[in-house]
Every structure is written in structure tokens, then in C-alpha cells.
Amino acid sequence: MTTIYLKPHKEESLKRFHPWVFSGAISKVVLDAKHQGDAPVEGEPVTVRSAANEVLGVGHWQVGSIAVRILAFGVEELPEGFWSERIRAAYQVRLSIGLIRPDNNTFRLIHGEGDFLPGLIVDVYADTAVVQAHSVGMHVCRKEIAEALVKEVPQVENVYYKSDDTLPFKAPVEGEKVGYLIQPSAVSIQHLDEFWSTENGLSFRIDWLRGQKTGFFVDQRENRALVERYAANKDVLNMFCYTGGFSLYALRGGAKTVDSVDVSQKAIDLVNINVARNFPDAKNHQAVAADAFEYLTAQKNAGKTYDLIILDPPAFAKHRDAVKNALRGYQRINAKAIEMIRPGGILFTFSCSQAVDKEAFRLAVFSAAASVGRKVRILHQLHQPQDHPINIYHPEGEYLKGLVLYIE
């Protein structure tokens, strides 16, 4: 196996179980004897050793500033049954914390570094697991991963692979980036048209073929449940609603009216399907395809107000260098929403940009409140749920943050 040697003292972070090796930490690369080229192939497993020749671990080689993502510490090679063992462990965690129940078969099974599998995301929807590779190493291992999923997770029969947007774009990978890896019952579009996954007793149509990310935002489950607690008799706006997660919980919580808004017509179609399935008689819900800023401006001009607004925009900053603009974006959208909240109303506001930290987001929301002259208090500080664990040695895994504000 190819061996990567680190410069002196660069082993410290690996000894503290941080799973990344940066290219600048490498002193030399000794290629496997079978190697044809003059560098490791992206995605190949490599052994990492310290300058003093201690074995630090085995990981996937990557082109870029993160050169290796460690899969197993303290060993030279991946042990037999590695994928099954890691997947079983992740499943046991979800089971032991009560996430897998007859009324909840929707959960994130693998959250990258948070489940000690850097570069891998797996969401489970009823009988289907949707797999995303964020590294070429995981792409290379996709079939073994799919087999382990079916073997270790009792509810999973189908495995769909969806990595067209997530693999490093420069990587010339072999094999399909999208498609079923395991599909025993000739699952087809019809499967999708009859498909329902259950989250806290609510049914969701999840379209992993055409939807965003893996098809659903599992990460808002607990925060949606909190909206349910506050929704009774309220006029609710669910802005950036996607498939209507927050809207269904608000309806179940007894909201007077719920408006769901998203720029994507496909998302709006799914919201309508989901509302019809769960609340066939609901007359107090409407879904609108519109741009958030335009919708809020038009509604404000028309004198519309709400008791409870949810703002869950897409990541405004995908990279560190976009943080400044992102903060301006958060400030603007929050100011617009706060203006439309009746005195004594509530705002649920979120940022899923990993590059924007908690403090910066909080400041952006504060300056939004100040700019429209409203008195605001924090009721809750929210974050990603328990099936998106943060590896304590890899704090970069924290990305979702939210504030629940009481607006006077």
C-alpha cells in the first residue's frame, strides 16, 4: 500500500483523532510497488505514518489541500468487514436514542466525520437509502457501502447513489455518479409516485431522483417539532419551505393559516402533495412559488402580517470568502421578516452555512432587528439534530444554527 510520511510534529492532530491530513503536512509519498504513475491515484487507500515511522492510520487519498481523510486510526489497512462495522455502529446509535420507530423511519444514518466516515452521507427514507459521496475514495467504495447498508439496516432494500453535485468537480471518476446501486424489486419512478416516508408521524413524499440534496432536509426534524408547539391559532409563514416540513408540523400544531413559499415550483408541487396526504380537508394552507425577497416586499406593501415566520434559506455562504456577502443577505432577509411579524410574534430563523459561525449569524440577526427598530429576545438557540452528530475532534462538522426570537 502507498505510504504517506508526515513532517515532524505534524502527527499531533491525527493523534487527537482529527481525521484530515493537509497536503502541507506531508514530507514524502512512497508509492505502492504496483503503482504505474508517479503519484497516488485519487481515492486510493493510503497508510499514514509519522516522521518517526509510527503508524497513524489509513485513509483515502485526495487531490487538494486535504490530502488524506482518515477512515481508521492506528492501523495500516482497513480491517475486514470495515463498512459493515461502521454502518452497524451508526445504526445502533440511532436505534438507542429512539429515532427509529414505527412513526419515524426517516433519519440520517451516516453524517460524514460525525460517524467516523469522512466524505460519506447516507439518509434513510423508509425502504430506501440515499448515498452521497463527497470524496473520490467514497465513490470508489460505493458498491461495498451499498451492500453493507442492505445487510446492516433492516428497513433498507434499495440504495440510490446521488453524487453528481458532491464529488470534487476536478475528479475524473470512473463509473456512474447517479443511479441505483441496489434495486431488488425493479424500483422505478412508480415506486416514487407511491412512496411515503414517515417523520414523527407525518408522511412525506421524497423525490431523491429530482429533488435537492438527498431529496429531503432531515436536519430540521427537531426544529419542526418545536414549531408545532408554538403554532396553535397562529398565522404562519414558512419561507424557503422546500417540501413543506415546517408547514406540516404547523398545521398539526393547530395553526390558523399556513403560507408556504419557495422559489421552486417542483418544491411547491411536493408541498401540496404532502399537505393533501396528511391533512386532506385543510383549507387553511396555501403554497406559492415566489422569490423570498419579492414575496416579502409585495406582502408588506399589501399590509400583510404574520404571528410566526420560519426562515430557512439555502446556504448563503458556500465558502469562507463569501461570508461577508452572506451576512448581508441574512441581515436583509431577517429585517424583512421581522418587519412583518405582529407584536408578540415569533421568528424561527436559520443558517445552514458552515462557514458562518453562530456568533456572526447572531450578530446579523441582531442588526436586522435593530435596523427595523423592534425589541427582540432569544427564546431558543437551535442546532442540527442528534442524527447529524458533531465529531468532537472535528468541530468543522457543526453547520446548522437557528434562533427562535420573541418580537415585541
Cell numbers linked to 6: 508526515
Tell me, yes or no, if 352 is annotated catalytic.
yes
Measured CA angle at 161 (ends 157, 165), to 5 deg: 155
What does the CA dihedral 364, 370, 373, 376 come to, rounded to 10 degrees? Answer: 80
Task: State the minimum distance, in angstroms, from the CB of residue 263 to ligand SAH.
Answer: 4
Task: State the minimum distance, in angstroms, from the CB of residue 285 to ligand SAH.
Answer: 15
Which of 282/315 has CB closer to ligand SAH? Answer: 315
One symbol per residue from 281 to 300: x for binding ligand SAH (CB under 6 A), - otherwise; what is it? ----------xx--------
Q: Pick the binder of ligand SAH from 107, 217, 306, 348 (CB under 6 A).
A: 217
Sign of CA dihedral 146, 151, 155, 157: positive
DSSP string over 289-349: E--HHHHHHHHHHTT--EEEEEE-PPPS-SSGGGHHHHHHHHHHHHHHHHHTEEEEEEEEE
Which of 60/111 has CB closer to ligand SAH? Answer: 111
Q: Pick the binder of ligand SAH from 104, 264, 284, 386 (CB under 6 A).
A: 264
Q: Pick the binder of ligand SAH from 245, 389, 397, 402 (CB under 6 A).
A: 245
Cell numbers linked to 92: 445502533
Does the footprint of ligand SAH cover residue 259 (CB under 6 A)? no
The helix or strand, by DSSP H or E, that contains position 212, with its residue range, turns out to be: none
Which of 77/291 has CB closer to ligand SAH? Answer: 291
Does the footprint of ligand SAH cover residue 262 (CB under 6 A)? yes
Hey, how many other C-beta atoms are within 10 angstroms of the C-beta on 253? Answer: 21
Sign of CA dihedral 103, 313, 242, 352: negative
Task: State the minimum distance, in angstroms, from the CB of residue 238 to ligand SAH.
Answer: 7
Say how far apart CA 33 and CA 106 lie, in whole Å. 45
Task: State the minimum distance, in angstroms, from the CB of residue 241 to ligand SAH.
Answer: 6
Does the footprint of ligand SAH cover residue 165 (CB under 6 A)? no
What does each C-alpha distance from 233 to 229, 368, 370 come to in angstroms?
11, 27, 28
Task: State the minimum distance, in angstroms, from the CB of residue 401 to ligand SAH.
Answer: 14
Which of 82/306 has CB closer to ligand SAH? Answer: 306
Task: State the minimum distance, in angstroms, from the CB of residue 353 to ligand SAH.
Answer: 12
Which of 19/402 has CB closer to ligand SAH? Answer: 402
Task: State the minimum distance, in angstroms, from the CB of residue 200 to ligand SAH.
Answer: 13
Measured CA angle at 315 (ends 313, 321), to 5 deg: 140
The helix or strand, by DSSP H or E, that contains position 151, with its residue range, turns out to be: helix 142-152
One symbol per residue from 174 to 213: x for binding ligand SAH (CB under 6 A), - otherwise; what is it? --------------------------------------x-
Name residues contacting ligand SAH, limited to 304-323 (CB under 6 A): 312-314
Does the footprint of ligand SAH cover residue 243 (CB under 6 A)? yes
Say how far apart CA 165 and CA 294 lie, in whole Å. 28
Residue 233, judged by CB atoms within 10 A of its CB (0-12, 13-18, 19+), counts as exposed
Cell numbers linked to 195: 412512496
Does the footprint of ligand SAH cover residue 240 (CB under 6 A)? yes
Question: Which residues form the catalytic set?
Answer: 352
By CB under 6 A, name the binding residues for ligand SAH: 212, 217, 220, 240-243, 245-246, 262-264, 267, 291-292, 312-314
